[in-house]
Amino acid sequence: MKCPPVLESEAARLQALSDYGLHSDRPLPSLDSVVQIAAKVFGMPVAAVNLVGDDHVFFAASTGFEGQHVDMGRDVSFCAHAIAKNEVLVVPDASRDARFHDNPLVTGITGVRFYAGVPLYSPGGLALGALCVLDSVPHFDFSDDDRARLSDLAQMASDRLELRRLEHSTERAARPFEEGARTSPTAVVWFDASLRVMAWNKAAATMFGHAPAAGPGRMVLGFLSERHREAVAHLVAQAALAGTADGLVVPEGLRGVRKDGSEFPLGVALFCWMGDGRLTFHAHLEDLSDRHGQSEELRRLATTDLLTSLVNRATLYRRMEEAMTDAAGACLMIFDIDGFKDVNDTLGHPVGDGVLREAARRLRDGVTASATVARTGGDEFAVLIPGCSDHAEQMAVAKSLVSRLAEPIDVGGNEIRITMSCGLAVAPGDAQEALELFSNADLALFKAKSFGRGHVFAYVAGLRMQATARRLYSIELHRAVHEGEFVLFYQPQIRLSDGALRGAEALIRWQHPQRGLLSPAAFLPALENGPLASVVGFWVLDEACAQAARWRRNGATDFRIGVNLFGAQFRAHDMAAEVAATLHRHGLPPYALELEITENIVLDDDDLVLDVLQKIRSMGVGIAFDDFGTGYASLSLLKRYPVSRLKIDRSFVQNMPESERDSAVVRAILDMARSFDLETVAEGVETALQRDYLTDCGCEEGQGYLFGRPVSAYEFSEAYHLHAERRAVRLA
């Protein structure tokens, strides 16, 4: 077992932790909802906020550990490892991890197999502990989106910890009870469980404008604003029942009442003790009139996004919980700026910040005063509209907001146009609780973005089923990789002028043990967005190059293989070196390989992809732009990227030449390709009429059912006589 490291800032970290006044016997109830949300979002049986002390780790909140005694020594704690990283720590299977395989939390009764945790920080950036989710079974499908969601929940936990720190600073400012308190400048009131004043000191009497002798015998509630009396009485009753005030939170915004009837902001720290069988309370009081402005500013900072002045994520969740109790319902819309990274990368972060502020203003101006507009992430916003439950009405509101946001934005003389995608869900029809409402709106946003930019989509029940299917596929994909269930099919690419075979595109299929042969549409979304994308992508590259080399040796001397790339391949390895090594390993010349990219790959990480593709193209490897004509940035990308071939999308080919518009698009693409000195291949060619039209327009190659469906390597070899043994017989 590997013990967690001791941080260089350990002394300062422990001092910061002490500012929260939390320990194993004093958890923080406001964190309970955070861990419950985390457990539900990720479908985990256990979630916790663990604070890491000197030699011990304790729960500030937890769910799923009920009835279990857990050894929380720092040396065995996963969270003690997590705070040493400035990122989400994910342990897919602890039993196979060198750091944890013999850890008592893994080998003992708790049986931890999966862990994901993200550090929680003090305002000064010191790690206090971690928010984590755990399971007794391994998970290999914890995606980048899951990491982001866990980080979002960690920010909510940090917000609530900060409120606790502010409250504890007030508690520490009050002195412990002693006889000298009667003459102390701190106002102190002693009272019993019936709320009757037993004594108060001169400072307390002066604060309320009374003579010292006027206090004993009066009811404590008489010194409070009427609207706060019930809440304070309930708090004292809770303390009396528990025999302690420890862990109870004094209501916010209390107002004291002076003898002349004037009110003032009142700070209260409540303590109690048992003596002679009798419970006695004493309250340390403070007139916050001078500090009220400062206190309000601190609370504003804890509940507001500083850049946009919108409410933050934690405040949105609280208002969602309140709205869900209203029978009239509520609608939650989640907005995401499409391609916002490009704004920051090309124009700089100050301009990007200006865009975010203007987007916030337009959202705020576009809804009624009763709505809550929040910034929930980097370029993500949410709008909560209470008192509504009609999909059609809220779709109209969302589309109006998307249109408002599409109008040009001027930031420092730069005219910027953005689009926003939106997903929405309404309660109670789509969800019964706040967490479910947020999750469903997020699923709707995911669906909206799948249609392209600037779309709005309302949640439907099928989205949850699709998400569940993606998660199940994600789990099964790990088995598929380890068991070798993926296979490649090959579709021929034909020279249109004479029908000669020029090459093939390698297409992945999944030979599922229960469901049979699956097409990419069934599993590719889960694969592309999961952790296995690069592993599978490089397997496809290697397998396709090996097969192409065999076919070239068996007679197809000019054969070219096309391989589709995943975006993850550019980030996981030295892509250019991997391609060079694969070509060398199989003796395949660079010009016999063509790598296919889509616009989404390019836009995800523009500079990185451009650099890698330039290196690969310089080797002589072809670069094909797939699905050309269907995206937004295709024309501008042609000027920058080392593309050698355009693949005309099947959506234009299928209706051509019957559709004059599609025919015009195809002709324009072919003219553009000639201008850029690029080769072309048309996808989806199914009829002789389409083939002849493409030939007349100058398209070099075609691919589609007219020439052949995707088939296995054996069937492809049979169709084009590429078996080594049969070739030998023919030559004899």
Whether the CB-CB separation of 496 and 702 falls below 8 Å is answered with yes
- For position 477, what pLDDT does the model report? 81
d(CA 690, CA 653): 7
89-91 vs 645-648, strand pairing mode: unpaired
Domain range 179-294, CATH class: alpha beta
d(CA 631, CA 564): 17
Q: Name the segment(s) of the chain with CATH classification 3.30.450.20.
A: 179-294
- For position 325, what pLDDT does the model report? 77
* Dihedrals phi, psi of 146, to nearest 5 degrees: -65, -40
10-166: CATH topology is Beta-Lactamase (3.30.450)
Q: Name the segment(s) of the chain with CATH classification 3.30.70.270.
A: 306-459
Q: Name the segment(s) of the chain with CATH classification 3.20.20.450.
A: 470-731
Which are the contacts of 617, defined by CB distance < 8 A and separation ≥ 6?
Answer: 623, 642, 644
Whether the CB-CB separation of 60 and 80 falls below 8 Å is answered with no
- For position 730, what pLDDT does the model report? 34
- For position 104, what pLDDT does the model report? 87
470-731: CATH topology is TIM Barrel (3.20.20)
* Residue range 306-459, CATH number: 3.30.70.270
- For position 249, what pLDDT does the model report? 78
Instruction: Using 50 as the pLDDT threshold, list the residues of the chain that sit under it.
Output: 170-171, 173-178, 725-732
In the structure, how many helices (H) and strands (E) does the chain have?
Answer: 26, 27
Q: Name the segment(s) of the chain with CATH classification 3.30.450.40.
A: 10-166
Q: Is 86 exposed, middle or buried (0-12, 13-18, 19+ CB in 10 A)?
A: exposed
Cα pseudo-dihedral 667, 673, 674, 680, rounded to 10: -80
